[in-house]
Structure 1
Amino acid sequence: MAIPLDDLIQDDRNIYELTVAAIRRSHQIGEIRRAFSSDEHGSVNDEDGEKVVSQAISEVLLNQVQFEMIEN
């Protein structure tokens, strides 16, 4: 899945919040892939060919993941 650029351009939410959400989601996806798709050397095998960051941005923009900002 490519990054939905039209959705990115039209999204009126705070870009900094979206960026943080995408960064954290990328980390989650990477950890999951390493845990379940690693070979004996720790390499990540990506069957579908999708990049972690592209997947995370798409999920955040298309509201497939929920997030909230918590102030300290």
Structure 2
Amino acid sequence: MVFPLEQLVEYDGNMYEITCAASRRAYQLSMMKDPEIEKNDGKVVSLAARQVFTHQIEFRLEA
């Protein structure tokens, strides 16, 4: 799976917020050594972005 560009282009929310969420999720996945990473050819950021855009995970930013 490559980076979900279609979903990124269609996204009409806060771009900073979604970027932070995907970045944090990518960090979590790499620290946990999630087996899903190998299924995604080692592409942690694209996996994290897909999870955020498809609402597999929920996120909120705290001030």
Same fold by TM (over 0.5)?
Answer: yes
Identify the residue that residue 65 of structure 1 maps to in structure 2: 57
Looking at structure 2, the residues matched to 50 and 4 of structure 1 have their Cα atoms a distance apart, in angstroms, of 15
Unaligned segments of structure 2, at least 5 residues: none
Give 1 or 2: higher helix fraction.
2
Residue correspondence of structure 1 range 1-72 to structure 2 within 5 A: 1-33=1-33, 47-48=38-39, 49-71=41-63
How many residue pairs get matched?
61
Q: Considering only CA atoms, is the larger Rg found in Structure 1 or Structure 2?
A: 1
Q: Which one-letter code corresponds to 1:21 in the other structure? A: A
Q: Which one-letter code corresponds to 1:6 in the other structure? A: E
For the aligned residues, what is the CA RMSD?
A: 1.8
Q: TM-score, normalised by structure 1?
A: 0.73
Looking at structure 2, the residues matched to 9 and 27 of structure 1 have their Cα atoms a distance apart, in angstroms, of 23
Q: After TM superposition, give the deviation of residue 7 of structure 1 in Å.
A: 0.9
Q: After TM superposition, give the deviation of residue 50 of structure 1 in Å.
A: 3.7
TM superposition outliers: structure 1 runs of 4+ over 6 Å: none
